[in-house]
Amino acid sequence: MQGGAPRAAVLAVGALLALASPALAQPSPAPPTVIDGPSAAISSLGGMSVARDGTGGLVYLKTVAGLPRVFVSRLESGQFQAPQEVDGLLPAGSSEPVIAAGNGGVLLVAFVNSGVLYVVDAPGLASPSGTPDGLASGASSPSLQMNNFGKAYLAFTAVDGAGHDVRAAYYYSGAWAVEGAPLNVAPADDAGTGAGVPQVATAGDGVAIVTWGEGGHVYSRRVWGTAPSVVDEQADVPSVSGCAEVSAGEPQVAAGGDSSYADVAFQERVSCSGLQQTRVLMNRLQGSQYDGVVTTDGLSTPGTSSAEDPDVAMTEYGQGFVTSAGQSSNAVVAMELGNNGAPGTVLQINSLPASAASYPVPGVAGIFSDLIAWQQAPGTAGPAEIRIRYEPRASTLGPELVLSNPASGPTDAARGLAATGDGGGDAVVAWVQGTGASSEIVADQLYQPPAAATVSNTVAYSRSTEPVLSWTPSSSRWGPFTYTVTLDRTQLGQTGAGSLLVPVALRNGSHTWYVTTSNPAGLTAGSRIAKVFVDTVPPVLKVAESGPRRVGSQEVVRLSYHDPAPASGIAKLTIRWGDGTLTHVRPGIHRIVHTYRRAGEYKITVTVADRAGNPKTVIRGIKISKSSTPGKRG
């Protein structure tokens, strides 16, 4: 392979085909799930993360005995599990929880308690969450991300003398290691605070890109394992459209599989003739150089409108979105990203006017697919609600979908809104809904059509009129799945297992059946049509023996057999000669010869069985003589 540009184009043709089939569709939402609540104790959603294999979880703060505590709800087999408190042993209240998921049920949680940055690891589905380990003191503002290979980076701010440093830690194979040196550009700077809290993106290749604010500017630096790069890069620019930079901050960063390409989105405040404006910009890091900023918010400079809430998400190959919100318009605006995070078209995402902040967030939900979630506040027309638009592939942005249930009250994205998905195109959005005692942590999952259950393409034979029909369950990540079995065009029953006992007696003969897989969103996929052949009638068998019946002579057995209709057909024919010899006779053979080595009386046992397993056995006795006198036939 010698490759080319862009990166996605270097996929082997077969690989692309394999990944692209079946093509992703717009996913369908199931009804929202309340993870916790309603309760006045619900505080805020800290984050949500899902690995490519569909496992993951969300983390949130909930007050227990007057202290904010960190709770985690795992996502296993497509279902959120009962929340668990992970910081209960710590005496003080916790804050700033973040979460990262890896394949196989790996979950990492970080939070701050009494100024100490703690991490809690759950190395797999079968492993309970561990106890909190203190990673750094004087710490705040953690940002955590894990890649597809179980490598994670944690960026945070730590007190350094009178100021703060931006630090990072690396997780691999169950162990954490804090980077040996701060990442900030100038050791004396008060970095990573205020609008400059750090963010981290962990690329598939195991390299992280950390971005932060320092001295009113936005910087980035790569980290590889426990080694920070020797170079840093500045993302913000001295001016935008001729208007001078005032300051920059609120950086966000995303990377796909290749750490060479990382998009940093941030706010930059600029001034023109005393008129100040905040723009949301993106700068793509290519190697260790930025390409140059692009505006992503759909505004003009100089101008009176500003944008805020920059965020960015990127799939394996760099497609994704930079999102922002209009400061006064509350418009949700996104710039599409092409291969390797290349800047693309700027689009307005929401279709309706909004009376309050929209808090847009982008999320990755598949190798090529992604989504944008936001809060739509219609004002007096109704409660605030969570909406999404999903993009199965670049430039195929789907329609707006409302996920939240208005009966649960207004959504409160200010307390948390997160969007992500698995590697198969399923997506999940989580948020806080309700106020006061009606507060809930809510998640809504959006499903791709399930992969069909697999049935054998060969005929199954049964000697029972009530056969067990079996199949290989759906390979889709998120269940639970319901399998509906249809036999001879009649629905037989449903099960969540991989087999079903036919509840009625079937007539002898051939029957067709298939199984329909349904997921929680009601999406279905039918298997191929399979056949089961019921045959309760054993074969007919006649045996005749002839020969001299002497030691060393050839005894001849003549067989007459057939399988009466409805015939599954003769499958097996054996002769036990009584002397320890077993002969497997190929169906269609009717004359078999055997020679006895010792004199004596033997039982010749002939057994024939059809494909359904119905046996028919005939036994003949024979006496073999040493002398020339023929033995007796039984």
Partner 1 sequence: MIRRAVVLGALLALGMSAVARAQGPPYRASPPTKGAWYSDGQTGRYLLGGTWLYRPDTSDVGVAQAWYRNIAPTDGWTTTTIPNAYNAGDFSQASMNGYVGWYRRDFTVPAGAFASYVPKSGRQWIIRFESVNYRATVWLNGREIGTHAGAYVPWELDLTGLRAGVNRLIVRVDNRRTAADLPPGPGGQWWNYGGILREVYLRAVQTADLSQVGIQTLHACSKCDADIVEQVAVRNMTGSRQKVVLSGVYGGKPVKFGSTTLAPHGTWTAHGSVKIPHPSLWAPGHPKLYTATLTLSDSRGRRLGAYFTHSGIRTIKVVGGRLELNGRFLNLRGVNFHEQTLQTGAAMTPAQDAQLMSWVRQIGAGVIRAHYPVGPEIEEMADRDGILIWSEVPVYQVQSTYLGQPGWLAQAHAMLEDNILSNENHPSILLWSIGNELPSPATAAEARYIAGATALAKKLDPTRPVGMAVSNWPGLGCQSAWDPLDVIGDNEYFGWFDAGGGGDDDRDALSPFLDSVRACYPTKAIMITEFGFDGNRAGPVEERGTYAFQANSVAFHLNVFATKPWLSGAMYFALQDYVAFPQYSGGDPRPDPPYNQKGLVDFSGNEKPAWAAVSQIYHSTQQIAP
Contact residues: partner 1, CB under 8 A: 1-8, 10-15, 17-19, 147-149, 151, 203-207, 222-224, 227, 229-231, 256-261, 286-289, 316-317, 340, 367, 423
The CA distance from 63 to 66, in Å, is 6
The CA distance from 170 to 168, in Å, is 7
33's tokens: 């799930």
Min dist CB 535 to partner 1, Å, is: 34
Min dist CB 223 to partner 1, Å, is: 8
Min dist CB 350 to partner 1, Å, is: 31
Min dist CB 172 to partner 1, Å, is: 8
Q: Which residue, 226 or 482, has its beta carbon nearer to partner 1?
A: 226
Min dist CB 173 to partner 1, Å, is: 9
Beta bridge partners of 445: 428
Min dist CB 1 to partner 1, Å, is: 5
What sign results for the dihedral spanned by CA atoms 243, 244, 250, 255? positive
Q: Which residue, 324 or 340, has its beta carbon nearer to partner 1?
A: 340
| Helix, coil or strand: residue 415 | helix
Min dist CB 317 to partner 1, Å, is: 7
Q: Which residue, 176 or 224, has its beta carbon nearer to partner 1?
A: 224
Residue from 129, 120, 103, 86 nearest 50 by CA? 103
The CA distance from 422 to 19, in Å, is 14
Q: What is the 3-state secondary structure (H, E, C) of 148-193?
A: CCCCEEEEEEEEECCEEEEEEEEEECCEEEECCCCCCCCCCCCECC
Please answer whether residues 299 and 329 qualify as being in contact, where contact means their C-beta atoms are separated by less than 8 angstroms: no
Q: Which residue, 256 or 344, has its beta carbon nearer to partner 1?
A: 256
Min dist CB 411 to partner 1, Å, is: 33
Q: Show Cβ contacts of residue 554 under 8 Å, excluding neighbours closer than 6 positions.
A: 547, 548, 593, 594, 595
Q: Which residue, 41 or 210, has its beta carbon nearer to partner 1?
A: 210
Min dist CB 328 to partner 1, Å, is: 38
Q: Show Cβ contacts of residue 2 under 8 Å, excluding neighbours closer than 6 positions.
A: none
- 155-160: Cβ within 8 A, 24+ apart: 155/183, 155/198, 155/199, 155/200, 155/208, 155/210, 155/212, 156/110, 156/117, 156/192, 156/198, 157/191, 157/192, 157/193, 157/197, 157/198, 157/212, 158/117, 158/182, 159/115, 160/187
Q: What is the DSSP letter of 529?
A: P
Q: Which residue, 286 or 595, has its beta carbon nearer to partner 1?
A: 286
Q: Which residue, 47 or 257, has its beta carbon nearer to partner 1?
A: 257
Residue from 185, 125, 117 nearest 155 by CA? 117
Q: Which residue, 74 or 222, has its beta carbon nearer to partner 1?
A: 222
Q: Which residue, 15 or 402, has its beta carbon nearer to partner 1?
A: 15
